[in-house]
Amino acid sequence: MYDYDLLVVGSANADLVIGVERRPGAGETVLGSDLAVHPGGKGANQAVAAARLGARTALLARVGDDPHGRLLLDSQRAAGVDTAGVLVGGAPTGVALITVDPSGDNSIVVSPGANGRLTPEDVRAATGLLHRSNVVSTQLEIPLETVVEVVRSLSPASRFVLNPSPPRPLPPEVLAACDPLIVNEHEARVILGDARAGDRPEDWAGLLLTKGPRSVVVTLGAEGALVASAAEGVSRVPSVRVDAVDTTGAGDAFTAALAWKLGAGSALREAAAYAARVGAAAVTKEGAQASYPTAREVAAL
């Protein structure tokens, strides 16, 4: 019996958000809304999203000893996430600069800060936490060598989920552990290489499976997702139609819900269908963590 349904090893950022009528071109200045500061970061987002759905969740991350770090810790604890694995100090808390246009689409630039100081040694020191977790999820807003150490430190019975964002080529050791590898179109093309990626999500999923992952999920935004594995084949999962307000963090909500449901025994397609509903609910509110639904809200949607 595991102590945690999901352990998230990843980033924790303060999201600095400005609404804009349109994003500026090179050398151009545009005016935007008042600045809003929200707790974010892919790792912290996934932990909060899972906890709000009812998962027993822990976070392994690093934040600065500063107001942004305290904001992030407060948000995790309020959602019910175990923060015993969150390390404090070493660098200022990471920051994401986010612009959101009237359609809800966003552009993001991340300053990693303390996230870049989450080291393989930190992971090895937390081996007990990893072995007490049913599913371990991570991303690439922390150093790749730290992600490699997560794979090496897993309990043999734990499931590993990776969203390779921001994308970069991955070593075979990491790809072989993914169950699933969760990518959008841009991430799929980076990992595959544009020259051989093809034009269809089915093509990307098939090619990604040949690289070693046990399963692959391709997120398709408002069109839902595509799932692929040797056991279940390839199929599309529709999304729920909603009026999008802000897409910030929706992919993290999808990943968290998928990882939790897979750990609870759901089949890949079933877990992805649930995750698509969670992601749809998240885009109907502003912000990342503040937008994440409870299980009751997902059921109502």
Active site amino acids: 252
Look up tokens 């990307």; give the residue.
204
Structure tokens at 218: 């391709």
Structure tokens at 64: 């600065």
Beta bridge partners of 188: none
Torsion-angle region of 290 (φ positive above 0: left; ψ -120 to 50: alpha; else: beta)? alpha
Altogether, the residues listed in the chain come to a count of 301
CA distances in angstroms from 158 to 129, 151, 155, 272, listed in the order given: 12, 10, 5, 19
Q: What is the DSSP letter of 94?
A: E
| Distance between CA atoms of residues 201 and 57, nearest Å | 31
Q: In 10 A of CB 195, how many CB atoms?
A: 6
Exposed/middle/buried for residue 84 (C-beta within 10 Å: 0-12, 13-18, 19+): exposed
